[in-house]
Amino acid sequence: MLMPSDMAVLEADLERKDLPCTVTPRKASLGFDLRFHGGFDVTVPLSELEGSESVLTTVFRVYPEGDKDHAVFFSQHIRVPDIEEDAKGDAFLQGGFDVGEGSYHVDWLMRDRQERLCSSNWDTEASLAPKDKPMALFIGPKDIQQVQFEPFQDDPVIHRATPEPAVNVKLLVNFAPQTKDAAALPAMDLAALVSILKSIEHDPRVGRISLVAFNMQEHRVIYRQESADKIDFPALGRALQSMKLGTVTVQNLGDKHGDTEFLSSLIGKEFVSDASPDAVVFAGPKAMLEADVPQDDLRRIGEIECPVFYMNYNPNPQGVPWKDSISHAVRFFKGTEYTISRPRDLWFATSEMLGRVARFKRLRAESSATVPKAR
C-alpha cells in the first residue's frame, strides 16, 4: 500500500539509510518467456531486525526514462520471523518486474514498522543485441508489468493475417528434467518447455495446435489436447502435477527397455493418427535411453506426409553434445533438429521451422492443384 510519505520519498530521488540496507540492482535480462526481467537484491543486517516478528514493506515505481506519467507502482510485504538478540549476518531479499525494450528509471524504498526507511534509485536498460532485433518479444517496448510467477497462465493469442496459409501443428513434448533421476522438474526447465509451447502458439502462421505431453521416465502420456486454436495451459499445468519424478514402479524396474518401447509406441501411434497435421514437432530435453527405437519399428510406420522437427532444450550443449534417442528417430524421418540453449535460439528456431512448414503446405497445395483430374 502506497502511503503519502512514501510518495514524497520516491519523488525526492534521494538515498535514505534510516534502516541500514544495501540495494543491488539486477541488469534486465531476456528470459525464455521472451520478456526482459529486471529486479534487485537487498541485504539487511539481522541485528536491525532482532526482536519479535516484524514486517518489511517495499514500495517502488518503474517508468520509461523521462515519462513519469506512465509509472507503474509495485509493493511487497515481507514477514520477518523472530530474530534472536545479537544475531549475526544479513537477511537477503529480492524483488523484480518485467519490461519490454527501452530505458527505465526505478525509485525504490523499504520501511519497517518503526517507519525507518531505506531508499535508493537507479536506471536500467533492456535492449536486444543488433543481431537479435528481429525477435518478437511477448511484451511491448516501454511496457512495464508484474513478474509472472505462474507459467501455466493463459496469454492472449492474436492470430494476425499473413500471406501464408495457416498451419496445423502437432506437438509431442517430453516434460522431464535434464537429469534423468531428478526428483523434480526445476522451475527454469519447466519455464523453458512452456515457453517453447507459447512461442509456437503465438506465431501468426499457426492456425491450430494439438498437444501430447508425456514423461519418458514414467512411460506415460500425461496430457492430451486435440486440435484447437490455442493450448489450454491451466489444464496442462494441473495434469503435470500428477507426475512422480524420482520414483520407479516395480513394473518399470523389471522392464529394461521400457523407455525405448514407450517411445516406439508413442511414435507409432501419434505419427499415424487420424489427424493430418502440417508438421509434427518433438520438444524437450535429451532422452538418453539405453537403446534407440529399432529402425524396423520406424520402417513399419511408413512415409510421413509432413515435416518432422525436434526442438531439443539443452542449456549446456557442450556438456551433452551427442544425439539422443529422439534425435535418431527424427533423423530417420529426414527431420530437422534445433538445439535450444538461449532465448534467441528459441525464437529463431520457431521462426525458421514454421516458415518451412508454411512453404511446404503451400507447395503441396500448388502441386495438388496442378494434378489433372481423372475422367
pLDDT of residue 280: 96
Q: What are phi and psi of 261, to 5 degrees?
A: -65, -40
Q: Do both 174 and 122 map to the same domain?
A: no
What's the domain range around 65? 4-133+139-145
Predicted local distance difference test score (pLDDT) of residue 256: 63
In a domain, 152, yes or no: no
| CATH number for the domain harbouring residue 52 | 2.60.40.10
In a domain, 116, yes or no: yes
Q: Look up the pTM and report it.
A: 0.84
How far apart, in Å, are the Cα atoms of 279 and each of 57, 147, 189, 242? 50, 33, 24, 28
What cell was used for 16? Answer: 535514505
CATH of the domain at 280: 3.40.50
- Note whether residue 154 is domain-resident: no
Provide the residue-wise pLDDT of the chain in tens; the chain has 375 residues: 677 788 899 998 888 999 999 999 999 999 988 999 999 999 999 888 876 677 899 999 999 999 999 999 999 988 888 878 778 889 899 999 999 999 999 999 999 888 899 999 999 999 999 999 889 898 999 999 999 877 888 776 555 566 677 999 999 999 998 887 778 888 889 999 999 999 999 999 999 999 999 999 899 999 999 999 999 999 999 999 999 886 655 555 556 678 999 999 999 999 887 678 999 999 999 999 989 999 999 999 888 889 999 999 999 999 888 999 999 999 999 999 999 999 999 999 999 999 999 999 998 888 877 756 555
Measured in Å, how far apart are the chain's first and last C-alpha atoms? 78
Is 190 in the same domain as 121?
Answer: no
- Please give the pLDDT value at position 251: 57
Confidence (pLDDT) at 327: 96
SS3 84: coil
Residue 157 lies in a domain: no
pLDDT at 157: 59
User: Do residues 121 and 174 both lie within one domain?
Assistant: no
Number of domains in the chain: 2
H-state helical runs in 203-342: 233-240, 250-253, 258-270, 295-301, 325-332
The three-state (H, E, C) secondary structure of 318-358, written as one string:
CCCCCCCHHHHHHHHCCCEEEEECCHHHHHHHHHHHHHHHH
C-alpha dihedral sign at 23, 344, 228, 213? negative
Cell of 112: 519497517
